[in-house]
Amino acid sequence: MSDMTESLDRAWQHREPLVASLAAEETDSYRLFHGATEGCPGLNIDRYGGLVFVQSFYEELNEPSRRDIGAFFEERFGGEMIYKDRSRREHGKEQDSSRSPSENREFICREGGTKYVVYPDHKGLDPGLFLDTRAARRVIRERACGQTVLNLFAYTCSLGMSAQLGGAREVTHLDFSRTHLDMGRRNASLNGLDEEGAKYIVSDYFPAIRQFAGLPIKSRSRPDPRSGKKQFHLPSFPSLQKEQFDQVLLDPPPWSKTFFGTVDLTNDYQSVFKPALLATKPGGVLFCTNNVAKVTLEDWRGMLFRCAEKAGRPIRECEFLTPESDFPSPDDQQPLKMVSLLV
């Protein structure tokens, strides 16, 4: 048995109880191999239904290793393997899809019986469904009945769609990428969800959330983030009414810079957190994530409490969630931190 096959076998055995319980709830999408903590840093292997999606981030995977991976999972569930070498990719920039979904290969996978479409050729690192937020989708669905929900940085709408499936009264998805929201619409129609129950707003985060929160939109000139030249007029943005929601879902990327502001989860979580907090009804729930590994849970928790106190909306209760066991973390320091805040 090769070293690669041995590592895959260990990871598979570790997952057997989880995979059995996921299969019982009609979930066929999970991480098969989490290289960072399973002996091969930079190698991730995910299952999305019939797709075995292999990505290497530090170096190109050699031919024998690719063959071993293909053969190992072919024997277990007959998945089609697609490999992406990400080692030469420029990191740290949030990018929109370069190709429209219709030009890409697509696979349909399931989580808790819900169907999701995934595109392995999508330009981003994720093909359309973040697997480590499964625990969040579970909880959001259980607690959404009758609520109004705002899904910020919606991407393919998985968190907000879980709320709609859980009986939310109305879900508003917000993202600056029309391509991502169109993928979300496709997910909703795959699951027979009512068009009336959801709104899709294509907008930058900052002007949209500040309008919901009743805060002014900063209009001072800003340098063009690409050319560095002064930009005197902000691009246009949709006009929205001030509104508070029963549940607000805040799952931002680690970093993103536009004319309207910077999302920087390492140095300035407050700038995204405070307006989202003010757009949450008193007594409502604000669900937040931070997936920057070097930000510790303790530091992030402290910042959230201080910021909420200062904004006059103190946190009454908080409940942390962790990714499920297909994302093993022997030191309990998960890069992805998730918390549900009663505010």
Ligand X SMILES: C[S@@+](CC[C@H](N)C(=O)[O-])C[C@H]1O[C@@H](n2cnc3c(N)ncnc32)[C@H](O)[C@@H]1O
Residues that bind ligand X (CB under 6 A): 94, 130, 133, 153-156, 158-159, 175-177, 180, 204-205, 251, 253, 256, 258, 263
Question: Whole-angstrom Cα distance, residue 44 to residue 37?
Answer: 10
Q: Which of 61/131 has CB closer to ligand X?
A: 131
Q: How far is the CB of 205 from ligand X (least distance, A)?
A: 3
- Per the document, the length of the chain is 343
Q: How far is the CB of 132 from ligand X (least distance, A)?
A: 10
Q: Which of 80/94 has CB closer to ligand X?
A: 94
Q: Which of 205/300 has CB closer to ligand X?
A: 205
Question: Whole-angstrom Cα distance, residue 96 to residue 104?
Answer: 14
Q: How far is the CB of 297 from ligand X (least distance, A)?
A: 19
For residue 291, the one-letter residue type is N
Q: How far is the CB of 251 from ligand X (least distance, A)?
A: 3
Q: How far is the CB of 143 from ligand X (least distance, A)?
A: 16
Work out the angle at residue 15's Cα, subtended by the Cα atoms of residues 12 and 21, and round it to the nearest 5 degrees.
135
Question: Whole-angstrom Cα distance, residue 28 to residue 24?
Answer: 10
Q: Which of 130/273 has CB closer to ligand X?
A: 130
Element (H, E) at 287: strand 280-290
Q: Which residue has the tokens 């300035």?
A: 268
Contact 177, 97 (CB under 8 A): yes
Q: Which of 156/290 has CB closer to ligand X?
A: 156
Contact 140, 111 (CB under 8 A): no
